Structure 1
Amino acid sequence: MTKARTRWPRQRDAEAPTTSGETVAADRVDVVDLETCLSACAAHSTKLVASLDRRRIALAEALRTLLATHAATVPATSGTSPLPLLRRPAKVSSGSALLLGDALMDPLLAVGDKALDCGYEDETKLALMVADTVLTQRKRSRAGWRLRARVLEAMGAESAAAAAFERHLELTEEDGFGVASKVAGLREGARLQAELVRRLAAGCPEARELADRSVTDSWAQGLELHARGAWDEARPLLIGTLLGQIAADAPVREIQQTLTHYLGLLREEAGVAGGGSAPTAGRAAAGHPGSARPAGFTDPSELAELTTLYAEQRRARMRGPVDDPTFGGVRWLTLGEFRNRIAGKSICLIANSKRVGNSSLGAEIDDYDLVVRFNSYRIDPAATGRRTDIHATIHKHGFNWDQHVDTRLVFGGISGDWKYSLRNRLVPGAQSYLGDESLRWPVRDIGRVSRDVWPSIPTSGFNMLWLLDFLDVSPRLDLIGFDFYESGAYRLPAAMRLPITSVHEYTSEKAWVMERAQSVTDTRICLR
């Protein structure tokens, strides 16, 4: 039986490739003019024709929207042909360069997001080009820096990614995307990885002498020696490969692959469960009383510490450090417990609309027993009232999670993503009660409303409203300012740049509300 060969580490230079096809420092923003970026987008869109990959289909749609928006604002010059995607942009005078206007900004960023979501090398390069194009003209763009940071993280340039994330934080007042936690996780993961590598190298001094060799050759030779049972000879080569990758500033994902494989081999040599094979005679002898241990033998306690370090650095990168795992002793609410807490109380739901922001309803709002607000709500006491008893929010954004409320309900369609967001974004002490998984996705999970019946993604407001209507235990249930964004959004300043997303179908939600309305005024819809 032929055993599949494990992917070997690749030899790398100390600098990362960029969209121009050359190697430059990963934290340097390439100057990319808008015309070159648009031409690259047009060229890339032709590659996606008839693609069956749903992520590339979404990218193709974003590219069509971008190019159509550009065509509507700046008519294309006849005879212009798309530029190759990775060609170095030609220098143009400032007077002839296209300007990145507001109309094009959101579609361009959407292309960057969708390209990054694809996860393929060409699309990742396109996403980096988009980020650099934005930052070429708008050096203080928060969205541009965040996109660039995410791209660099995907490329494995963690240090540069952390620096870009920190630049984003410098430019924003509200950390609605959990960037601070992400930066802390990257920094802590890098620190723990460095400690793990240091301990591996300290236990094998001869490995440093092999760090200058080709990492591909060293790794292949080390695996071959291990397969022949010569672990003492293989070990310096394998650790030397790891040190060589770090010296060459290899992408983090490749260093992680090497660490994972090496620790697996180390556990195998120690005969630890999960190491990949049963103990050999040499390993068994190492644990036999009176027998001498091989030179490369790792003490079980040392192996446990190395494994713990490995797990902690992986965990830190995934979700950031968690200082208080109980989040201030928060109490979980089930569907039944939530029902009991709201039973018999008057409830108002406050929309994040200008109709509320321009009103003087604050005192009336505060007279309700329970006030429900959504996502990136904004407080102006005279207009919106002061109180927030229930904060209903989508898990993807972190706006207002630091504001103290009695109950926080976090909505999300995918259980794993929902749990990840709770772990990263919950602020200890900022809520007394937190909805559990029975309250995670009310319309779909409680109501069993399938996509055939309701194709669009229900908004946070609709999930909350549907839940309250379903429970039907409130004598008064009023919607204030719900004009379904006809008057525009009224949110925290940091959230005002977020588009009113097209994945929600506000027309259907409005129709559902109006079918159940008992009375309607300019500012209030009463459902009871």
Structure 2
Amino acid sequence: MTTVQKRRARARGGELDDCLRACAAHSGKLVGSIDRRRVELAEQLRKLLVVWGTTSVTAPVPAPAGGAAALLKRAVKGPATPSVSIGNDLLDALLAVANKALECGYDDELNLALVISDTVLAQRKNSRAGWRLRARLLEALGEETEALEAYERYLALTDDDGFGVRARIDGLKIAADKERELFALLGRQVPRAQDFTRRPATDVWAEGLAAHAVGDWTQAEPRLVGALLTLAAEDAPVQDRQELLSQYLDLRTAVPGVDLPALTEAVALYAEQRRSRMRGPVTDPTVGGVRWITLGEFRNQIAGKSICLIANSGRVGASSMGAEIDAYDLVVRFNSYRIDPKHTGGRTDIHATIHKHGFNWDQRVTTRLVFGGVSGDWKYSLRNRLVPGAQAHLGDESLRWPVRNIGKLGNDVWSGIPTTGFNMLWLLDFLDVSPTLDLIGFDFYESGAYRVPEAMKLAITSVHEYTSEKDWVMQRAQSVTDTRISLR
């Protein structure tokens, strides 16, 4: 029985009412939690309960008096109204909960995410977001074969791979191949290991550790490798295989007089499969010969030029301002921007994007600035998402997180995580070398989002200080119309 099957045996999934009651019950478990991830999950669960409280198969039902407590009571007892079907609002709320539960990574939360995943796909068998959730969940549970199938199903349902799923698939497949090569190599290097593949891996592994503890490597190694070969044959969860592989190589490295060429061959395969699993294949280490630019070089690049920043808003999508936008010297667009030349203009000179999403990274631009708060995560995303030849210039570490790293605006001054747009706008205002600095369509989500189709379902996250950002902009505005805010 796989990890997923065992979890499903403990959790009920597929029936929407059962799933919603499970969510409500889990909401009660999180009361008083000080874990940041669980606090964020609790907020998403609260929003889900509100949506559920106003959802019915017939007509909307007012939320009962008493707020969340009453909703929780209703959830535990079961709905008084007819069983609900999954509408778009309910689907989005469920997916938001599942994604937060997956981020938590704890067993209870993974079980909850699994229930939601089963329910969403039972209700919407062609849900792209549902299949991507399923794939990520299976990967987190170490069931890579099933995860690959789910990722493939997701790709079959979309034309826009903004989340880098194809590269993820390639990386997992390469990692699986290299891992098989490694196990085959260990089997050849330690032929006696086959004698220990007929008993439970945990027992054999414990015997190997005991032999190693008394300094008998000749008895320890075949047992350790035998346990590893058994795990591979049983297709044990990836995490189990990886943990024991790492332990074995650590022990082997410390053995006096170890056969260095043989060890090097094994370690090289281990490193390659780990690297592929983490970041996917790297076809061009130089990223197409891109030129990295510093803060000073970016300043020189924009000096004396008129600049417009185009919001991903519904107002832009209906503006008919395409020709005016293209008349600026430099056009800046953000994240998952959408192009409709009549309304948005057709040119993009600078693409500013958060490192977490891969939308439009394949679109040709002069300069790409990728923002991210954690240096290691930022570097990881650059290696995974950059498309060789899609940019001539790429911002270096000095341009990674302008508001925090250049402006030194800490949480005590700016408590929310700065948006991509605010990082870019703050940077341009700070450099102060552009005679024209206009914001087109910045209505701070009043007209809704206007993005590439694959990104339209992305929630407007609550971690940003949109009100503070709007106040910052309006304090510096020289003129304001329905579509344009001029800061210069």
TM-score by length of structure 2 reads 0.93
Residue pair 1:14, 1:247 contacting (<8 A) in 2 also: no
Measured after TM superposition, the shift of residue 206 of structure 1 is 2.8
Counterpart of 2:373, as a letter, is G
Structure 1 residue matching 2:289: 3-state secondary structure: coil
Whether 1:82 aligns to 2:76 is yes
Residue pair 1:33, 1:97 contacting (<8 A) in 2 also: no
Measured after TM superposition, the shift of residue 140 of structure 1 is 1.0
**Aligned equivalents of 2:7 and 2:319: distance in 1?**
49
Aligned to 1:476: 436
Aligned pair partner of 1:190 in 154, 161, 176: 176
Residue pair 2:4, 2:138 contacting (<8 A) in 1 also: no
Aligned pair partner of 1:123 in 105, 109, 116: 109
Structure 2 residue matching 1:443: 3-state secondary structure: helix
**Aligned equivalents of 1:498 and 1:46: distance in 2?**
27
Alignment of 1:284-433 (within 5 A): 299-433=259-393
426-435 vs 229-238, greater mean Cα deviation: 229-238
Aligned to 1:516: 476
Measured after TM superposition, the shift of residue 78 of structure 1 is 11
Aligned to 1:177: 163
Counterpart of 1:381, as a letter, is P
Aligned pair partner of 2:457 in 471, 485, 497: 497
Counterpart of 2:30, as a letter, is L
Aligned to 1:56: 38
TM-score by length of structure 1 reads 0.86
**Aligned equivalents of 2:2 and 2:449: distance in 1?**
46
Counterpart of 1:408, as a letter, is R
Aligned to 1:110: 96
Aligned pair partner of 1:17 in 5, 29, 33: 5
Residue pair 1:353, 1:487 contacting (<8 A) in 2 also: yes
Counterpart of 2:171, as a letter, is G
Measured after TM superposition, the shift of residue 339 of structure 1 is 0.2
CA shift in 2, pair 1:18/1:229, >3 Å: closer
Aligned pair partner of 2:214 in 186, 208, 228: 228
Aligned to 1:466: 426
**Aligned equivalents of 2:107 and 2:479: distance in 1?**
55
- Write 1 or 2 for the structure with the bigger share of helix: 2
- Asked which structure has the greater CA Rg, the reply is 1
Q: Deviations over 1:123-178 (max 9, x none)?
A: 11111111111111011111111111111111110111111112111112211111
Structure 1 residue matching 2:292: 3-state secondary structure: strand
CA shift in 2, pair 1:31/1:45, >3 Å: closer
**Aligned equivalents of 2:382 and 2:359: distance in 1?**
13
**Aligned equivalents of 1:15 and 1:175: distance in 2?**
28
Q: Which structure 2 residue ranges, 5 or more long, are not aligned?
A: 65-70
Q: Deviations over 1:206-255 (max 9, x none)?
A: 32232120112111111112222322222221111011112222111110
Whether 1:32 aligns to 2:14 is yes
Counterpart of 2:461, as a letter, is T
Q: Deviations over 1:265-298 (max 9, x none)?
A: 21122xxxxxxxxx3xxx3xxxxxxxxxxxxxx6
CA shift in 2, pair 1:448/1:14, >3 Å: closer
Structure 2 residue matching 1:73: 3-state secondary structure: coil
Residue pair 1:388, 1:405 contacting (<8 A) in 2 also: yes
Residue pair 2:366, 2:393 contacting (<8 A) in 1 also: yes
Q: Which structure 1 residue ranges, 5 or more long, are not aligned?
A: 1-12, 24-29, 85-94, 270-278, 284-297
Aligned to 1:446: 406
**Aligned equivalents of 1:413 and 1:312: distance in 2?**
28
**Aligned equivalents of 1:106 and 1:80: distance in 2?**
21
Residue pair 1:140, 1:171 contacting (<8 A) in 2 also: yes
Counterpart of 1:316, as a letter, is S
Residue pair 2:3, 2:143 contacting (<8 A) in 1 also: no
Counterpart of 1:317, as a letter, is R
Residue pair 1:40, 1:83 contacting (<8 A) in 2 also: no
**Aligned equivalents of 1:96 and 1:55: distance in 2?**
33
Aligned to 1:210: 196
Q: Deviations over 1:356-405 (max 9, x none)?
A: 11122111111111111111111111111111000011111111000000
CA shift in 2, pair 1:236/1:493, >3 Å: same
Compute the RMSD of aligned alpha carbons. 2.1
Measured after TM superposition, the shift of residue 180 of structure 1 is 1.3
Measured after TM superposition, the shift of residue 205 of structure 1 is 2.5
Measured after TM superposition, the shift of residue 420 of structure 1 is 1.1
423-432 vs 500-509, greater mean Cα deviation: 500-509
Measured after TM superposition, the shift of residue 15 of structure 1 is 6.1
Aligned to 1:47: 29
Whether 1:526 aligns to 2:482 is no
Measured after TM superposition, the shift of residue 22 of structure 1 is 6.2
Measured after TM superposition, the shift of residue 31 of structure 1 is 5.6
460-469 vs 506-515, greater mean Cα deviation: 506-515
Aligned residues, how many? 474
Measured after TM superposition, the shift of residue 53 of structure 1 is 1.6
Aligned to 2:68: none
Structure 2 residue matching 1:478: 3-state secondary structure: strand
**Aligned equivalents of 1:508 and 1:246: distance in 2?**
53
Counterpart of 1:151, as a letter, is L
**Aligned equivalents of 2:363 and 2:6: distance in 1?**
41
Residue pair 1:19, 1:129 contacting (<8 A) in 2 also: no
Aligned pair partner of 2:205 in 190, 194, 219: 219
Counterpart of 1:493, as a letter, is P
Residue pair 1:332, 1:434 contacting (<8 A) in 2 also: yes
Measured after TM superposition, the shift of residue 468 of structure 1 is 0.5
95-104 vs 355-364, greater mean Cα deviation: 95-104
CA shift in 2, pair 1:369/1:136, >3 Å: same
Structure 2 residue matching 1:20: 3-state secondary structure: helix
Aligned to 1:9: none
